[in-house]
Amino acid sequence: MIVEGRNLDLVVLILTWGLALWAIDKIKKGWIPQFRRLAGLDALEEAVGRAAEMGRPVHFTSGLNSLSGTWAPLTMAGLAVFGELARLCARYGVPVIYSVYGTLVMPIATELYKQAYVAEGKAEEARPEEAIRYLSGSQFAYAAAVQGIAEREKPAANIMVGPFYAESLIFAETFYRIGSMQIAGTARAYQIPFFAIICDYVLIGEECYAAGAYLTKDPAQTGSIFVQDLGKLFALIVGLLGVLLYSAGSKIIIDFLKW
Amino acid sequence: MSIVYRRYLPILITFICGIIMIIQYFLVPPNPTEPYQTSLNKIGTDLTNWTNLIGAFTAGFGLVNILLLHGKHITRRTPGQWYFSVWLLIMMFLMVIIGIGGEPAIGINVTGFWYDWMQVYVFGACSGAMYASIAFYITSATIRSFRARTLQATALLVIGFLTLMSRTPALQVYPWIVDTADWINSFLVKSSFRGITIGAALGAILLGIRTLMGMETGYFGRRD
């Protein structure tokens, strides 16, 4: 019935789902798990404050985003950060620019932007057509357009959370050159070193996915971060066991992973 | 708008579609043979096609957004911007006319010549130039990061230098350098990357679960 080689995937999914429900229930009953601080997300307010002092906009982009496929969750994580950023910008009266690649996220981004201004009681100050900018559906046309915005409008801060490819370095270097404070996050391992070298704060891999839960501090969401850590512990144990058993000549863990 | 339409209906649609795709992943092999597998596969394909269809609709949003934003720049004569906006609109409409207008409209093989010409010799050349510019950005980033100021920075400098030099023809005569660089890439770098990948995969699974349960409010905005 279950496709061969996907039994373990199903067990892990069911276990993770069950544990997430359990953790959420515990948090709702008053349990407060300890989480490490994510400096990159804590610095969002600092970035907006800096822009308010300098009288310049804040720039946001979610990379080569997509709402289908492998990187859809990372795009959603980026949108969660944008929602919070738009709210902070509305609160401090700072213009925000969201450079959009591909049109699928545009309606969502526009809605998040409008909601942020409504929530802060400044609906009349919202300028979605100026804030949410569709640039291109082509990688390097989009990269060139972001560079143009950076050079012409000199944003005080640049926040990048999403799936980034070769354009990551172009963005990070351009905004560095104009003196923007930068917060960047991606789960694409090959782009993380570029961000780590150039940006002020970096969200590495899983930290991006936890952004929505971390920023909203919603108990229903924070419970799942606890399960994420449990999952990492499980992966670490399986990995170590695999190394030890394989070194001893046993393929039991490899067979287990292929189950 | 009612909260039912704004929040509960999207959550319900997300849940149903998400569950269908999960069931399809676990029950339908790459080459389906059973009738239930074929049916599930078709439903999954239909859902994916709907996503593409919605994506095509949103292209209209993009067009309107560009027209509104750059139209404003042109009418306001925004300093340092408006002439770029004029050029952007000219090029955009030119590509639309060449792409849609097509052969029957003007009697020449548009898609076979002008469209390809614009793609290859204008768009392709510009994209290639942008891609090539990354070499300079890598150089400036490398110069800044490869400075032996701390112990960690020194380690980065030494390993980076070793890895770079191991790919040059001159150092191929010292196999131990090439072997050391390969060992660093195959074991140290790969194991770190796998750690990041496992963490990211777990994060993506949990975000998916939160979304299916309607608990991920990131794409709805906050509840309050």
Q: Tens digit of pLDDT for each residue in B54-83?
A: 888 888 889 999 999 999 999 999 998 999
A112, A166, A192 ranked by CB distance to B131: nearest: A166
Task: Output the average pLDDT for chain B.
Answer: 86
- Of A228 and A141, more confident: A141
- Of A88 and B209, more confident: A88
Q: Which residues of A touch B25 (CB under 8 A)?
A: 3, 6, 9
B126, B141, B221 ranked by CB distance to A198: nearest: B141
pLDDT at B180 over 80: yes
Overall domain count for chain B: 2
Statement: the pTM of the whole predicted model exceeds 0.95: no
Contacts within 8 Å (CB) and 24+ apart, B63-66: B65/A106, B65/A129, B65/A132, B65/A133, B65/A134, B66/A134, B66/B92
What is the domain range of residue A185? Answer: 39-209
In this structure, the answer to whether residues A80 and A168 fall within a common structural domain is yes
Q: Tell which of B40, B138, B192, B219 to mutate to test the A interface (max A CBs under 10 Å).
A: B219
In this structure, the answer to whether residues A115 and A74 fall within a common structural domain is yes
Element (H, E) at A201: strand A201-204
**Side-chain half-sphere of A254: how many Cα atoms within 13 Å?**
8
Is residue A6 in a domain? no
Is residue A126 in a domain? yes
Segments in B28-81 forming alpha helices (H) = 35-76
- Tokens 């095509």 appear where? B56
Q: Which residues of A touch B54 (CB under 8 A)?
A: 104
Q: Which residues of B touch A74 (CB under 8 A)?
A: 204
Is residue A214 in a domain? no
Q: Are A75 and A163 in contact (CB under 8 A)?
A: yes
pLDDT at A159 over 90: yes
How far is the alpha carbon of A257 from chain B, nearest alpha carbon, in Å? 14
Angle, alpha carbons A48-A210-A20 (nearest 5°):
150
In this structure, the answer to whether residues A149 and A171 fall within a common structural domain is yes
ipTM of the complex: 0.87
In this structure, the answer to whether residues A238 and A193 fall within a common structural domain is no
Q: Tens digit of pLDDT for each residue in A164-188?
A: 999 999 999 999 999 999 999 999 9
In this structure, the answer to whether residues A73 and A183 fall within a common structural domain is yes
Q: Are A225 and B206 in contact (CB under 8 A)?
A: yes
Is residue B23 in a domain? yes
Q: Which residues of A touch B123 (CB under 8 A)?
A: 138, 141
Is residue A4 in a domain? no
Q: Tens digit of pLDDT for each residue in A12-53?
A: 999 999 998 898 888 888 887 777 888 999 999 999 999 999
> What pLDDT score was predicted for residue B107?
55
Q: Tens digit of pLDDT for each residue in A51-105?
A: 999 999 999 999 998 887 888 889 989 999 999 999 999 999 999 999 999 888 9
**Orientation of helix A219-247 relative to helix B190-212, angle to 10°:** 140
Is residue A154 in a domain? yes
Instruction: Determine what percent of chain B is predicted with pLDDT higher than 70.
Output: 91
In this structure, the answer to whether residues A81 and A50 fall within a common structural domain is yes
Task: Output the average pLDDT for chain A.
Answer: 91
In this structure, the answer to whether residues A47 and A129 fall within a common structural domain is yes
Provide the sign of the torsion angle of the four alpha carbons A39, A44, A46, A47, taken in this order: positive
The residue out of B29, B59, B89 marking a domain boundary is B59
What is the domain range of residue B223? Answer: 146-224
A3, A107, A212 ranked by CB distance to B61: nearest: A107
Overall domain count for chain A: 2
In this structure, the answer to whether residues A99 and A147 fall within a common structural domain is yes
| Across A125-135, average pLDDT | 93
How far is the alpha carbon of A50 from chain B, nearest alpha carbon, in Å? 24
How far is the alpha carbon of A63 from chain B, nearest alpha carbon, in Å? 16
CATH code for the domain of A181 = 3.40.50
Q: Are B218 and A83 in contact (CB under 8 A)?
A: yes
- Of A36 and B190, more confident: B190
Is residue B68 in a domain? no
Q: Which residues of A touch B80 (CB under 8 A)?
A: 152
Contact B217 A221 (CB under 8 A): yes
Is residue A2 in a domain? no
In this structure, the answer to whether residues A31 and A45 fall within a common structural domain is no
> What pLDDT score was predicted for residue B109?
54
Q: Tens digit of pLDDT for each residue in B88-118?
A: 999 999 888 887 765 555 555 555 677 888 8
Contact B199 A232 (CB under 8 A): yes
pLDDT at A151 over 70: yes
